Amino acid sequence: MAAFLVLQAARFGDLVQSKRLIRTLESRGRVHLGIEAGLAPLARLLYPAAEIHALHLHAQPQYQALKHNREILAQWQATDFQAVYNCNFSGMTTALCRCFEPELVHGYRPAPGGILRSAWARKAFRLSERRAVSPLNLVDFWAHFADSPVAADQVNPQARPGGQGLGVVLAGRESRRSLPVPVLAAVLETAFKALDGPPVRLLGSKAEQAAARKLLRLLPLRIQERTRDLSGKTDWPGLVDAVRGLDALITPDTGIMHLAAHLGVPVLAFFLSSASAHETGPYGRGHFIWQAARACAPCLESAPCPHATACLAPFRQSELLRSLATCLRGETGSQAPLPDDLQLWQSDLDALGCVLRLQAGSDPQARQRAAVRAALTEFLRLPKAAGDVFDAAALQTESAPAPAVPDDWLCQDLDWMLPPGRYC
């Protein structure tokens, strides 16, 4: 049986978002998955057919990490891998790839003087320069490290209520990307009413326990009595059990959001600041995302905000709550208007992968984003189907600016010299 190695050294959400690539390789042979040791229990739950290699990658000097990993490296050298997929632009994972012949490594591989990116990986770096028009979900970026990945509809289940109540993720890793507790309280109260008073589960790490207590104090007694605070109280299996079967999950851009999509739980996501739903939104059909759409968004996560997080303002307005209630009642055909600088998207799938369809608000970048998506699809030699976003209304909106995809930006001559994903 063919053997494949996937290196994914990033966080919780990135592990879940590697699913399309891993499912593709599982259809062709045995998958070995190299990840940070702390995520190994979760990886075994997500990918039970894979052989998990728990690596020491973070929180210690690189020479110590490599020393700890020597036994695993010896196992890899004794395995006849057909291909190695390095998902991270990382000195550590690239160093691990030095035990393989260079032609085996896809994505990012070691080279004299640094890290060599494949033609496909170089495109993602160009997209990061113009994130407002980037249409590529991270799941699909990693999936296309392999030729002909499995169809997008084979990745996650259709989002459907499971009868187990409402989940609320208290905050993400970056506070600027999360709703403040008073805003979250109003969102939760609206969803609780729209769903006729379901049980509620508060989800997060120990770091969110103070936020959970503050949230509970702001909620009416009838909601408090139906709420379980699970923040900091679940291990990986407990978290999976807490999310599985929910009717909906209220969340910022978090790993728990991707776990919910993995399980087919409908996601109600709120994206602002540096979070872009087109890049890291929930994968699959039937999820809803409210996206801040200021001219400065999405911003750089590591840079301070010069506008006092002005993108949060639309989430404080009553129009958002009416829009949320409309979605939960299944009345998406009659969406309430949204405040300026706010969009509502619903997730869908096309030939390239996950795509977002605008349900409310305006999208000045529609035609540009559709043109970029068409260029990516052409580069990958994917078939265009009727209804794909690059064939539909996004390219026909007269009020939107004309597409501008400079040849010297996204598609350089060098990219076409070898098949997608190869090095040149």
Domain membership of residue 160 (yes or no) is no
Domain membership of residue 421 (yes or no) is yes
Element spanning 30, H or E: strand 30-36
pLDDT per 10-residue tile (average), the chain, 424 residues: 95 97 98 96 97 85 74 93 96 91 95 91 90 95 97 97 97 82 97 97 96 97 98 97 98 97 98 92 97 84 74 91 92 76 96 97 94 93 68 46 57 58 58
One domain, residues 377 and 305? no
Domain membership of residue 259 (yes or no) is yes
- Quote the pLDDT of residue 240: 98
Out of 360, 381, 397, a domain closes at: 360
One domain, residues 122 and 112? no
Q: Which two tokens stand for residue 232?
A: 């900091």
* Total domain count, the chain: 3
Domain membership of residue 170 (yes or no) is yes
Out of 317, 340, 360, a domain closes at: 360
Element spanning 143, H or E: helix 138-143
Integer angstrom CA distances of residue 344 from 131, 360, 423:
18, 5, 38
pTM as predicted: 0.92
Catalogue the E-assigned strands of 62-134. 81-86, 105-111, 114-117
- In this structure, the chain runs to a length of 424
One domain, residues 189 and 326? yes
One domain, residues 291 and 399? no
Instruction: Read off the CATH number of the domain in which 239 is found.
Output: 3.40.50.2000
One domain, residues 102 and 251? no
Domain membership of residue 177 (yes or no) is yes
Render 299-310 in DSSP notation, one character per residue. Answer: --TTSPPTTSSG
Task: Say how many C-beta atoms besides its own lie within 10 A of residue 40's C-beta.
Answer: 16
- Quote the pLDDT of residue 422: 59
Q: Which domain holds residue 9?
A: 3-116
One domain, residues 63 and 105? yes
Domain membership of residue 159 (yes or no) is no
One domain, residues 266 and 222? yes
One domain, residues 296 and 339? yes
Domain membership of residue 406 (yes or no) is yes
One domain, residues 140 and 272? no
CB 181 within 8 A of CB 156: no
Render 168-226 in DSSP notation, one character per residue. Answer: EE---SSGGGS--HHHHHHHHHHHHHHTTS--EEEE--GGGHHHHHHHHHHS-HHHHTT
One domain, residues 183 and 214? yes
Catalogue the E-assigned strands of 37-184. 51-55, 81-86, 105-111, 114-117, 166-169
- Whole-number Å distance between alpha carbons of 176 and 178: 6
